[in-house]
């Protein structure tokens, strides 16, 4: 059975996007080679990436570009070669390479994917998908990067959940740039 993880940055006040829907605050201003190595290692994971429309459009607008290849070649290469699934009722087509568009029954699709053989899957960003799949009990692990910034306003990735989600901390790791990775599994 394939494992589904969430890998998202959150501000210290709990938001994954700011009031304007922007996620750029999650990129560290302080250079940290250990952090860069960690991120590059995650990008080489080889599993499928799952997105909602908004995150998909943001990622597809950057990672396949020469600028992304220049700024962060290992991450760009990993993301571009990964299988990608975008869940959207409104997107007409998904043109980023290795991308499948799913317009309905997101939970059923994820259940089927989890039962297939192959490497794990990761959700990046995509708060509406996180909250819906968390409600369905389909997420196996939450990897949250707490970034040392307070936003004051924004959205949490759990907005819209209809039930309480109890988690157990399985690991943590602090980086010199101030980021802390916290890994949780549902109880």
Task: Give yes or no for a contact between 168 and 31, defined as CB atoms under 8 angstroms apart.
Answer: no
Q: What pLDDT score does 43 carry? A: 63
Q: For residue range 28-73, what is the model confidence (pLDDT) as tens digits? A: 777 888 988 887 777 666 689 999 999 999 999 999 999 999 988 8
Q: Cα 25 vs. chain centroid, distance in angstroms?
A: 15
Q: What pLDDT score does 183 carry? A: 96
Q: What pLDDT score does 24 carry? A: 84
Span 118-126, mean pLDDT? 90
Q: For residue range 139-148, what is the model confidence (pLDDT) as tens digits? A: 999 999 999 9
Q: What pLDDT score does 75 carry? A: 84
Which strands, in side-by-side order, build the sheet including 4-11? Answer: 99-102, 84-87, 48-52, 121-124, 4-11, 141-147, 180-186, 167-174
Look up the pTM and report it. Answer: 0.91
CATH topology of domain 4-26+48-168: Dihydrofolate Reductase, subunit A (3.40.430)
Domain boundaries, the chain: 4-26+48-168
CA–CA gap between residue 84 and residue 56 (Å, rounded):
9
Residue 155 confidence (pLDDT) above 70: yes
Other CB atoms closer than 10 Å to residue 58's CB: what's the count?
Answer: 17
Mean pLDDT lowest among 3-12, 19-28, 112-121: 19-28
């Amino acid at each position: 059975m394939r494992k589904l993880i969430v890998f998202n940055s959150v501000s210290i006040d709990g938001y994954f996007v700011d009031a304007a829907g922007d996620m750029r605050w999650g990129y560290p201003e302080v250079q940290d080679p250990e952090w860069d190595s960690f991120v590059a290692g995650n990008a080489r994971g080889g599993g499928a990436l799952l997105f909602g429309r908004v995150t998909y459009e943001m990622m597809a607008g950057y990672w396949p570009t020469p600028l992304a290849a220049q700024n962060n070649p290992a991450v760009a290469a990993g993301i571009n070669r990964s299988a990608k699934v975008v869940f959207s009722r409104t997107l007409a087509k998904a043109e980023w390479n290795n991308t499948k568009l799913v317009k309905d029954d997101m939970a059923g699709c994820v259940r089927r994917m989890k039962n297939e053989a192959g490497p794990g899957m990761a959700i990046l960003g995509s708060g509406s998908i996180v909250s819906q799949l968390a409600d369905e009990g389909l997420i196996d692990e939450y990897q949250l990067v707490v970034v040392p910034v307070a936003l004051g306003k924004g959205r949490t990735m759990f907005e819209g959940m209809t039930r309480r989600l109890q988690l157990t901390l399985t690991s943590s790791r602090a980086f010199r740039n101030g980021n802390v990775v916290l890994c949780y599994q549902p109880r």
